[in-house]
Amino acid sequence: MRISLFTNEYPPHVYGGAGVHVEYLARELARADGAAHQVEVLCFGEQREASGNLSVRGIGAPAPIPAQDPRHTKLFDTLARDLAMAGAATTPDIVHCHTWYAHMAGLLAKPLSGAKLVLTTHSLEPHRPWKEEQLGSAYRATSWVERTAYENADGVIAVSQAMKADVESLYGVDPARVRVIHNGIDTDEYSRRPAPEVLARVGVDPSVPMVLFVGRITRQKGIMHLVRALPLLDAGMQVVLCAGAPDTPEIAAEMKAEVELARAASQVTIHWLPEMLSKADAIALYSHASLFVCPSVYEPFGIINLEAMACETPVVASAVGGIPEIIVDGETGVLVPPGDPAAIAREVNALMRDPERRARMAAAGRARVVEKFSWSSIAVRTIEFYRELLQRP
């Protein structure tokens, strides 16, 4: 098959789970079936890579488009890149789009090339109303693009059972067109790998028990709920917030104010690292953490939890979206109601007081990730779905 993956994010420009997903999926698709398939990645950026049957091409904006509202600039930039992306695709059999940023390119490439159009549900716009803060009325346009894509897709890959239910209920997608294929992780790369020098470099004491958060500063990730839980935590631990890439200047200012309030009211030391971490640094922090917290209020899957579990770190996470399909409550971590700082604090305190229970969860979490979430098996299932779609009229 000739497979074209359309995406905004691709290394080195990765800021969320979709970029991680496409990076590893592309690699494994190219390896599958004895490297029999031609795989191209068309992404936003300047990337130019070629290795055997895998090629990567970055797409720049063809020209700036004036916007009456500055918040619309991103939308117009995206649509311009999508036009270029649709024209750049090399006679694909499958066009596989990731997030609304690439959906318009897929909608154009499908009739132009005759390819089957596949979408992966990394998130859905109706569940992210806070994006109107960032996009203004362009949020209505992104929602329209997304709806149109789902109405016209030949196949949809849902990263969780929760997302399957959402695309069927929100967009009326025929269940026969939807296949659940979970996200995955490279368990050789993500494994327990302590590196005290990394902690020293970022000012974290490796001798003090650590509670860790890694994620963007966005309403979706629920970071404010975690920060509001910090004054309720027991003394004797430190909290490391690896939180960057704020959606807007306003949420960045809100985060700063909330952290200052928490520092004034807490018994724990709070470290805020606002820069985006390298993969190696993130693995080091996961490896040293006693506990990882994922306080998301919306999470189609939650690949960040796989990263923590693969590094043998138990997780306290919101029982929302696809997260309950990753975390076995009471076995690999603990689930809490979304948006509940008191519940977060209660479960963090309980686990931090019980190192033996944490050790059992750490071992069980690593074992579950290795067994259920390898990228090679995900690529096999994805190719099976492609073949099924190509056989349909």
Per-residue pLDDT of the chain (393 residues; tens, 9 = 90+): 999 999 999 999 988 788 989 999 999 999 999 999 999 999 999 999 999 999 999 999 888 899 999 999 999 999 999 999 999 999 999 999 999 999 999 999 999 999 999 999 988 888 888 788 888 999 999 999 999 999 999 999 999 999 999 999 999 999 999 999 998 999 999 999 999 999 999 999 999 999 999 999 999 999 999 999 999 999 999 999 999 989 889 999 999 999 999 999 999 999 999 988 889 999 999 999 999 999 999 898 888 999 999 999 999 999 998 999 999 999 999 999 999 999 999 999 999 999 999 999 999 999 999 988 989 889 999 999 999 999 998
Nearby residues of 217 by Cβ (< 8 Å), 6 or more positions away: 223, 243, 244, 245, 246, 247, 251, 252, 255
Residue 191 located in a structural domain? no
| Beta strand pairing call for 54-59 and 48-51 | antiparallel
Residue 62 shares a structural domain with residue 207? no
Say yes or no: 361 and 382 in one domain.
no
Q: Is residue 362 part of a domain?
A: yes
What distance in Å separates the CA atoms of residue 26 and residue 38, rounded to the nearest whole number? 10
Query: Is 52 found in the same domain as 10?
Result: yes
Domains of the chain: total = 2
359 plus 280 within the same structural domain: yes
Residue 214: closest CA among 299, 285, 301: 285
| Cα-based distances in Å from 211 to 83, 288, 294, 302 | 44, 9, 11, 18
272 lies in the same domain as 262: yes
264/235 same-domain check: yes
Asked if residue 348 and residue 282 are part of one domain, the reply reads yes
CA distance 388 to 366: 33
136 with 69: CB under 8 angstroms? yes
Q: Report the predicted TM-score, pTM, of the whole model to 2 decimal places.
A: 0.79
Q: What is the sign, positive or negative, of the torsion defined by CA atoms of 340, 345, 347, 348? A: positive
Q: For residue 70, tell me if it sits in a domain.
A: yes
Domain that holds residue 236: 196-372
Do 153 and 222 lie in one domain? The reply is no
Cα 191–23–146 angle (5° rounding)? 125
Residues 6 or more apart from 250 whose CB is under 8 A from it?
Answer: 133
Provide φ and ψ at 157, rounded to 5°.
-100, 115
Residue 120 lies in a domain: yes
Residue 281 in tokens: 């640094």
DSSP calls for 204-267: --TTS-EEEEEEESSGGGTHHHHHHHGGGSPSS-EEEEEEE--SSHHHHHHHHHHHHHHHHH-S
Short-list 290, 310, 306, 273, CA closest to 198:
273
> Are residues 232 and 337 located together in one domain of the fold?
yes
Is there a domain that residue 190 lies in?
no
Question: Is 189 among the domain residues?
Answer: no
| 23 and 150 within one domain | yes
Beta-carbon contacts of 272 under 8 Å, excluding residues fewer than 6 positions away, are: 241, 243, 259
Three-state DSSP class for residue 359: helix
CATH number at residue 157: 3.40.50.2000
| 163 shares its domain with 210 | no
Shared-domain flag, residues 164 and 249: no
